[in-house]
Structure 1
Amino acid sequence: MLRAVPTYEALREGFDWALPERLNMAAQVLAHPADQVAILDLSHGRNEVTYGELAAMAGRLALALSQRVQRGDRVGVLFSQDAWCAAAHIAIWKIGAISVPLFKLFKRDALESRIGDSGLEIVVTDAEGAGMLSGLAEALLPEDLPEGDVAMVDTGAEEPAVLIYTSGTTGKPKGALHAHRMLTGHLPGVEMSHDFLGQEGDVIWTPADWAWIGGLFDVLMPGLALGVPVVAARLPKFTALEAARICREGAVRNAFFPPTALRMLKAADQQIAGLRSVASGGEPLGAEMLAWGREAFGVSINEFYGQTECNMTVSSCGALFAPKAGATGKAVPGFDVQVIDARGEVTDAEGDIAVKRGCATMMLEYWNKPEATAEKFRGDWLVTGDRGVMEGDFIRFVGREDDVISSGGYRIGPAEIEDCLMTHSAVATVGVVGKPDALRHEIVKAYVVLKDGAVASADELQTWVKTRLAAYSYPREVEFLDALPMTVTGKVIRKELKALATKESET
C-alpha cells in the first residue's frame, strides 16, 4: 500500500514496484482472514461473502476447469456484478489460465468476435449467459460444480493472466494481453484516486460493469487485494436514486462514478452523504462538475486517466493537491507519463500522451497482432493515441488522435459498428463518429448511404446494431446521405463527418 504522506513529491520519492519474480493474482486477492467480508452483494437483498467463501467458490471452479483446460488456455467470464464473477477470474488465474471478461450487454456478433479471436472454448457464466452462448462456447455454471479445490499454480509476474478487448478505429476490437503483475500495477493509482484507499471503514462501489477494465481492475480486484469490501449491485438501468440507495445501504465510502453517472447525479441534484472519496475517469469533467462534486459529496472528485493497454497512469488526489480543471492529474508513482513529439522526444508543446516502458499495468502485447503491437510503441514509449500538454506536473488532455467514441463511460470503436451496419442488405456504405452530447459526452452517430432503390429507416438500423452488438453502442442518431467523404483509396474521412456532427450539436 502507498504510505499516506503530506505531499505528492514525497509520494513519488523512492517508489519501487518491487515486483517478485513469482506472482499470482489469485493469491494476492485471497490473502486475507477467511472470516473477513470480501464482497457485499446488494442485488437481491443483502448477502455478505467472506474471503473464505470466495476462496471456496474459486476452488470449486478451479477444480472443474483444471479437468478441461491447460495452462495458458483462454477462459471466458460472463457475469454481471456478482461474487461468482470474482470467483471465476480467481479460479482461472489459480490454474495458470487466461481470463477473458465478456459483457452481458454484448449481442451475438460481439460475443462471437471475441470468442473467436481469443480461441476460448469454455465460458464460466450463469443460466442467462449460457443462453447467450448457444453454439459459441461451452458454458460452465456454478450449480454444476462439485466440492473440491486444486493447488495454486506457480506463475511468474510476467506470465499472461488476462485478455481484455479494447475498442479501436480500424478492424475489430483488439485483445490487450496482460500479465500477473497487472493487479500490483493498478494499486498505486487506485489508492491515489481514492485518497489512500484502504483506510478503516472503507467500502468501495462502482456502477461500471465488472466486464470492463474500469470495473474489474479499478474497483473489484484492487478492493479485494487491499482488503476493502466491494459492493456488488446489478442495476438494470443507472438512476440517481438507485445509486444513492446503494451507497446508503452498502455504507459506501469510496465510489468510482464514470462521467455520465456524475452528470446524471448532477441533473437530478442528487447529493450522497458519507463518501470519503469519489473517483472518475474516461472524460475530462471541467470546472463546473468539479465544483458541483464538492457540494454534492463533500469531497473533491479525483480524476484519473488510463486505457486498457496501460491503465491507471495519471490521477488527481485531493488528499495531496487541489484538482486543476481541464487537467487529468499527475503521473501515478511508478509511471513515467510524458507528452512526446513525432520523433519520440519529450516536448513542452502539444503532442502525444505516452507512457514509458517498465510500469506494471502495461500490456504484454495485442493478442496475435504483432504489427499492431509494434505500432503502439514509439521507441520506449507506449503511445496512448490521446493528445495533451504538460502544465508543470499536471497533464492536460487535449483530444483524441484516433476516432474512438467516448459515450457514457464506454470507449466504442466505430469500425465494429460500421461493420455491423454494412451487413444490412440496404446499406451501401456508412461512417460512424461521436457527436458531442451534454449527458453522455458523445453519442454514436451513423451517416449512412443506402443502395440504389433500397429503403431502410433509422429505427430499423438502430435495432440492427442493438440486437447484434450491444445496447450501449447502437447509433442514437442515423442520418442518410447521398455520399460520404472519402480518401482516394476509398476510406471514409471520419474527420469531416466528425466536424459535421460537431457543427450540428452547436446549432
Structure 2
Amino acid sequence: MLRRAETYDALYGGFRWDIPERYNMGVDVCDRWAAREPDRLALTFVEKDGSIRDYSYGDLKRLSNRLANLLADKGVARGDRIGILLPQAAETAFGHIAAHKLGAISIPLFMLFGEEALEYRLANSGAKAVITNADGAAKLAQIRDRLPELAHVFTIDGARQGTLDLHSEMAGQSEEFQPVDTAADDPAVIIYTSGTTGQPKGALHAHRVLLGHLPGVEMSHDFLPREGDRIWTPADWAWIGGLLDVLMPALHHGVPVVAHRFEKFTGEAAFQFLQDHKIRNAFLPPTALKMMRQVESPEKRWKISMRSVASGGETLGAELLDWGRRVFGVTINEFYGQTECNMIVSSCGAIMDARPGIMGRAVPGHRLAIVSDGGEELQTGELGNIAVRRPDPVMFLGYWNNEAATDAKFAGDWLLTGDTGIRDEDGWIRFVGRDDDVITSAGYRIGPGEIEDCLIGHPAVKMAGVVGKPDRQRTEIVKAYVVLADGIAPGENLAREIQSWVKTRLSAHEYPREVAFVDALPMTTTGKIIRRELREQAKRELEGK
C-alpha cells in the first residue's frame, strides 16, 4: 500500500487511502491469492517435535470453505459471533478466514484465559460457536450452562463430551463456498481489550481494519513485502499484535508466515528458531527482546539473516536499540497503537534514523495530534493526550454493546488513546505513559519507560518496573521494582549502585529513591508490565501492610 520513498515527508505526503466500498477480509487474505497462485506458500507450522506442515493458499481456501459450509449448516449466519480459542495453529488462521467469508464476526480468545475471563467474553459477545482444542473445551465445559447462546463447540483434536470433532465434521462439506458480499465497513472481528481497569471492552472492527493496518505494518518492516520475506512472531494470534500486525497482513501480501507454539519461550529458543527456519522478518514484543538480550553473544552462536525487526507495546531505549543493531544487523523499528486504533505511529530505519525513547512519527494515512482532555490541539513540546482523528480505516467501529464507553473514548473527532505524549517540531512522538502511569514528583512529570530502559542497561538487572509511590513532600517518589539477572544477589550496596546508575545517566529527579528486588513482575497476557499492581503494592508498603 505504501509507495517506496527516500524521505518520511515524501512518504507521508504522497500517501492516499484507496478503500473499496465492497471488501471482505477473508477473501482478500485467502481467495485472492488462491485464484492467482494456489500453490503459493501461505503458512508453515512447526510442530513441537520439529516436523513441519506447509499450507498453500489453495489449502487455506479449501479448508476455510469447508469450515464456512459447516458453520452455515449449523445455523451460524451473517453477524453471528464465533470464538476462536486456539494458539498459533492452521485452524486459527482458516477459522478467522471462514468466519469472515461467512459474514460472521470472529473473536480471538487467548488459551491462557481462565473460566471467568472466557465466560465474560463469550456471554458479552453472545458467541454462537467456539473453535478450540481439548484444553479449551475443558474450560468451556465448566461454564457452558451459563452460556445459553453458545450452541456449538468444535474441537480440533478429536471430539470431547459436548463438542464436535472439527475435522470430521468438515470432511463431509463442499470445498466450494460463495463468500458473503460484505462492505468494508461491515463488522468482522471483536478484540477484547486487556481490561487493566474494570471489565474488558470488546473493540468491534470492520473488514477494512486490515487495510488500515497495512501502512504501519509495511513501514515498521522497512517496506514489506520484499523478495524473500518470511515472517514470524512469538506473539499469540489471539491478540491484535499477532493477528493484525503479522498474520493477516502477511497473508494479504503473500509473505509466508511461520508459526510455532513454544511450551516455554526462552531467548535461546528464539534465536535457534530464527536460524533454523530462516526467518527474515519478526515482530518481537519488548518482553521477548529483553529475554533475548540476556543471551550471551548470540551473534557468535547463531547464524541469522534478518531484514526487519519490529516491536511495539513499550518504548525501546538506546540500550535495546544498540543491542538490536549488533545482534540482528538492523535497526529495530518501534510502532505504536492500541486495540481500538492500531499501527498509527512507527519508525522506519530504511528512511530515518531511530531516536531512542521516541516511538516514531505518524504512519501515512493517519492524522495524529497531542490534544487536551477537551480535544484542543496543543502546541509543539506540550504534554497531552495522544489522539487520532476520525474517520480512519484502522479505527474501531465502537465497543460492543457499550455506547457510553465508545462516546467517552472521543473528544469531538479525536479518539483519545489514553496515553500521554509530546510531539516535537519534526513530528516525532515521545510516549510518556498511560495517564495513570505518569509520575508527579516535586513538580516534575516523569514517564516510567525511560527509567525502566535505563535500569535494564545495568548488567545486574533483568527486568524492571517503575511507578510513583505516594510521598508527602514530593507528591510521589520514583520507586523501582527490579528482577535481577541469574546469579546476582540483592543487597543495599547493589540498590545504591542501581540508583547511581540512573542518576548519572538520566537526571537527579528521575532516579528511583527506592529500589525493591522482586522475583517477578506482574505482567499482562500480552507481556506488558501491570504498573497498576505495582502502584497498589507501593501504597500497601506505605501503609505498613
TM-score scaled to structure 2, two decimals?
0.75
Q: Which runs of 4+ in 1 moved over 6 A?
A: 403-407, 469-477, 493-496, 501-504
After superposition, give the CA deviation of every residue in 1:375-425 in whole Å (9 maximum; x if it has no partner).
000011000000000012200001111469999xxxxxxxxxxxxxxxxxx
Q: Output the CA distance in 1 between the equivalents of 2:39 and 2:236.
A: 26
Q: Residues 19 and 287 (structure 1 numbering): CA distance in 2 closer, same or farther, change over 3 Å?
A: same
Note the alpha carbon deviations across 1:89-117, whole angstroms, 9 max, x for none.
00000010000001111111111110011
Query: Which whole-Å CA distance do the structure 2 matches of 1:287 and 1:89 have between them?
Result: 38
1:288 alignment partner, one of 319, 322, 347: 319
- Distance across 2 between alignment mates of 1:34 and 1:472: 34
**Superposition map of 1:339-418 within 5 A:** 339-347=370-378, 348=380, 349-391=382-424, 392-402=426-436
> 1:316 aligns to what?
347
Among 119, 135, 139, the alignment partner of 2:153 is 139
> Is the 1:42–1:246 Cα contact (8 Å) retained in structure 2?
no
Equivalent residue number for residue 199 of structure 1:
226
CA RMSD of aligned residues (A): 2.9
Contact 1:106-1:470 within 8 A present in 2 as well: no
Q: Is the aligned partner of 1:42 residue 2:46? A: yes
Q: Whole-Å Cα distance in 2 between the matches of residues 213 and 316 of structure 1?
A: 19
1:101 has 2:108 as partner: yes
Q: Classify the secondary structure of the residue corresponding to 1:91.
A: helix
Task: Give the unaligned 5+ runs of structure 1.
Answer: 408-433, 441-465, 478-492
Higher relative contact order (CA 8 A, sep 6+): 1
Q: Give yes or no for the alignment of 1:154 onto 2:193.
A: no
Amino acid at match of 2:401: N
**What is the DSSP-based 3-state SS (H/G/I as helix, E as strand, rest coil) of the residue aligned with 1:262?**
helix
- Choose 143-152 or 81-90, whichever is displaced more: 143-152
Distance (whole Å) between structure 1 residues aligned to residue 356 and residue 218 of structure 2: 21
Report the secondary structure of 1:75's partner residue: strand
The match for 1:419 is none
Bigger Rg over Cα: 2
- Structure 2: stretches of 5+ with no match in the other structure: 145-149, 156-165, 439-447, 453-478, 486-521
- How big is each residue's C-alpha offset from its partner over 1:436-485, in whole Å with a ceiling of 9 and x where there is no partner? 55689xxxxxxxxxxxxxxxxxxxxxxxxx9xx998899999xxxxxxxx
Is 1:240 equivalent to 2:267 in the alignment? yes
Q: Percent identity?
A: 50
Counterpart for residue 420 of structure 1? none
Give, as a single letter, the amino acid of the residue that structure 1 aligns with 2:269. Answer: E
Deviation by residue 1:330-355 (Cα, 9 ceiling, x = unmatched): 10010011111123121121000001
2:309 to 274, 278, 292: 278
- Spell out the pairing of 1:464-483 with structure 2 (5 A cutoff): none
1:120 maps onto 2:123 in alignment: no
Which whole-Å CA distance do the structure 1 matches of 2:236 and 2:283 have between them? 11
Question: Quick one: which of 53, 63, 84 aligns to 2:69?
Answer: 63
Moved more, 272-281 or 322-331: 272-281
Larger CA deviation: 154-163 vs 137-146: 137-146
Please tell me whether residue 214 in structure 1 is matched to residue 241 in structure 2.
yes
Q: Report the residue type matching 2:109 in the other structure.
A: L
Give 1:254 shift: 0.2
- The one-letter code of the counterpart of 1:394 is W
Deviation at 1:22, TM superposition (A): 0.4
After TM superposition, the structure 1 stretch with the greater mean CA deviation from structure 2, 72-81 or 338-347, is: 338-347
The 1:206–1:288 alpha-carbon spacing in structure 2 relative to 1, beyond 3 Å, is: same
Separation (CA, whole Å) in 1 of partners of 2:251 and 2:437: 35
Counterpart Cα distance in 1 of 2:535 and 2:86: 39
Q: CA deviation at 1:169?
A: 4.5
Question: Are 1:497 and 2:536 counterparts?
Answer: yes
The one-letter code matched in structure 2 to 1:89 is: H
Mapped partners of 2:200, 2:402: distance in 1: 11
**Secondary structure at 1:133 match in 2:** helix
Cα deviation code 1:178-228 (max 9, x no counterpart): 000000011110010000111000000000000000000000000000100
Determine if contact 1:340/1:354 at 8 Å carries over to the other structure: yes
User: What secondary structure does 1:327 align onto?
Assistant: coil
Secondary structure of 2:395 counterpart: coil
TM-score (norm 1): 0.81
Instruction: Specify which of 333, 338, 341 is matched with residue 369 of structure 2.
Output: 338
* Counterpart for residue 418 of structure 1: none
The size of the alignment, in residue pairs, is 437
Shift of 1:84: 0.9
Determine the structure 2 residue equivalent to 1:431: none
SS in 2 for 1:306: strand
Corresponding letter in the other structure for 2:430: R
Secondary structure at the counterpart of residue 62 of structure 2: helix
